[in-house]
Amino acid sequence: MAHNASHRGLPLTCESFGPQELARFKELLEKTVRLKLGWPNNEDMAILATLVNRETNLRRLKGIISCTVKMVKEITDQEWAKKPILLKDMLLDVDEQVDKLKEPIKDINDRIDDWMEQSRDYMTMSLNSTIDKVNKLLNSHRNDTLEAMIMALKQETIAMIKALSTRIEEL
């Protein structure tokens, strides 16, 4: 959500998360994703939608960092000579905040990678099971059809042999 603010007369535009978004984001990070029968249900779809939006969330986090860095640079350019210690502290704070964000982002990426691997394995197992069932069904129909064809050919052959035997006897 964009908001406008000013810092000592400098106009700033930044993107940030609202308290509800941060609480939901924290809740999703703490929740483990497990594949189960009936997957995906509505709750899982909500989780999936949130995970799919990870790139958007990462871009928003990068936007916050970028905005903060720009703000510090603007302040630095205009006030460096006046208050170097204050600006130095602000830069250190920004660096600390960036460092704090790196680890959660890495954890999110690891969880998403794990989820993708689980999903891929689940889909592979599901597709293999479906293929096996279809093959069994096709094979059972083939066997029934082949058996019926063989019986028909056998009856036809017996009838032909009887007809030929009768013909041979007549000659």
The full length of the chain comes to: 171
In this predicted structure, the answer to whether residue 143 has a pLDDT above a threshold of 60 is: yes
Indicate whether this model's pTM tops 0.75: no
Quick one: what percent of the chain has pLDDT higher than 90? 1
Task: Map residue 117 onto helix, strand or coil.
Answer: helix
Which residues neighbour 28 within 8 Å (Cβ) at sequence distance 6 or greater?
47, 50, 51
Q: Amino acid identity of 155?
A: Q
Closest by CA position to 16, among listed 52, 62, 54, 51: 62
Q: What is the pLDDT of residue 79?
A: 63
The helix/strand count (H/E) of the chain reads as 4, 2
pLDDT of residue 164: 86
Residue 103 has pLDDT above 50, yes or no: yes
Say how far residue 81 (Cα) sits from the centre of its chain. Answer: 50
Average pLDDT for the chain: 74
**CA distance linking residue 73 with residue 100, whole number of Å:** 20
6-48 pLDDT, tens digit per residue, is: 444 444 444 556 677 777 767 766 666 555 556 556 776 676 6
The arithmetic mean of pLDDT across residues 53-59, rounded, is: 70
pLDDT of residue 30: 66
Q: What are the extents of the domains in the chain? A: 2-122
Output 171 or 123, whichever has higher pLDDT.
123
Assigned token pair, 164: 């030929």
